[in-house]
């Protein structure tokens, strides 16, 4: 079986574009050497946390999805929005200019990676029936909430097993974001295992 992989890369081009943009707007942005130093730290965190590719393999096991390609995660200092999954961009400094913590980094990268396993219907067309099911079952919820129910279900399982401090951070982190908060509450209320089973049961065979 093909093994899914994540490759972390510092994107000097994207990072420099953000640095110029922030400077034009009078906003603080860490210098390149500071970003490089934090990038090195984050890569060590990920290497240790994902030793033997155990986290990626666990996500694949839980979802039944194997990515047909390596995921490149582009690291930058800061951005105008938050980290994102497609393309996978990881910001390693917070808006207040402090470096991201280990527990924050672990939660964020696993969150974004899960999106690529469960939400990339172009590369994983077998998942399309699940999303039709979700749109109907949760039709009274926002699209963002719908898109995050399965993500949080898998996140609860991964962090609950491998890094509970990161899991414990989620409620506080999403308190100001009602769509994310509702998705997390649904994943907890309906139980992560049950949500994941629905995902598996609604894939094309």
pLDDT (tens digit, 0 to 9) for every residue of the chain, 205 residues total?
Answer: 457 889 999 999 999 999 999 999 999 999 999 999 999 999 999 999 999 999 999 999 999 998 878 889 999 999 877 777 778 999 999 988 899 999 999 999 999 999 999 998 888 888 999 999 999 999 999 999 999 999 999 999 999 999 999 999 999 989 999 999 999 999 999 999 999 999 999 987 6
- Among candidates 196, 201, 203, 198, which has minimal Cα distance to 61? 196
pLDDT at 1: 46
CB 167 within 8 A of CB 160: yes
Under DSSP, the state recorded for 52 is: G
pLDDT in tens, 157-184: 999 999 999 999 999 989 999 999 999 9
DSSP letters of 66-113? --SSPEEEEEES--SS--EETTEEEE-B-TTSPBPPHHHHHHHHHHHH
Report d(CA 191, CA 189) in Å as an integer: 5
* C-alpha torsion 43→48→54→60, nearest 10: -30
Q: What are the distances in angstroms from CA 85 to CA 26, 47, 77, 92, 141?
A: 28, 19, 16, 15, 21
CA 121 to mean position of chain CA atoms: 16
- Among candidates 9, 18, 86, 96, which has minimal Cα distance to 46? 9
Q: What are the distances in angstroms from CA 7 to CA 12, 26, 50, 74, 205?
A: 15, 32, 11, 8, 29
Report d(CA 176, CA 44) in Å as an integer: 31
Tokens for 39? 């990038």
Tell me the backbone φ, ψ of residue 190, rounded to 5 degrees. Answer: -85, -5
Report d(CA 199, CA 129) in Å as an integer: 9
Q: 0.75 exceeded by the pTM? A: yes
Tell me the backbone φ, ψ of residue 73, rounded to 5 degrees. Answer: -100, 115
């Amino acid at each position: 079986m093909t093994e899914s992989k994540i490759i972390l890369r510092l994107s000097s081009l994207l990072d420099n574009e953000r640095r110029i943009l922030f400077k034009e707007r009078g906003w603080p942005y860490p210098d390149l050497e500071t970003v490089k130093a934090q990038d090195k730290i984050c890569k060590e965190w990920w290497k240790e946390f994902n030793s033997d590719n155990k986290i990626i393999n666990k996500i694949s096991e839980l979802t039944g999805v194997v990515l047909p390609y390596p995921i490149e995660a582009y690291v930058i200092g800061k951005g105008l929005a938050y980290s994102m999954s497609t393309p996978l961009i990881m910001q390693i400094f917070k808006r207040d200019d402090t470096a991201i913590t280990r527990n924050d980094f672990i939660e964020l990268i696993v969150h974004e990676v899960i999106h690529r396993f469960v939400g990339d219907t172009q590369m994983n067309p077998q998942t399309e029936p699940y999303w039709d099911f979700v749109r109907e079952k949760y039709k009274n919820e926002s699209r963002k909430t719908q898109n995050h129910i399965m993500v949080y279900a898998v996140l609860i399982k991964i962090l609950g097993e491998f890094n509970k401090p990161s899991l414990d951070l989620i409620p506080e982190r999403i308190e100001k974001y009602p769509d994310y908060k509702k998705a997390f509450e649904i994943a907890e209320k309906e139980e992560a295992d049950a949500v994941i089973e629905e995902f598996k049961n609604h894939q094309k065979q």
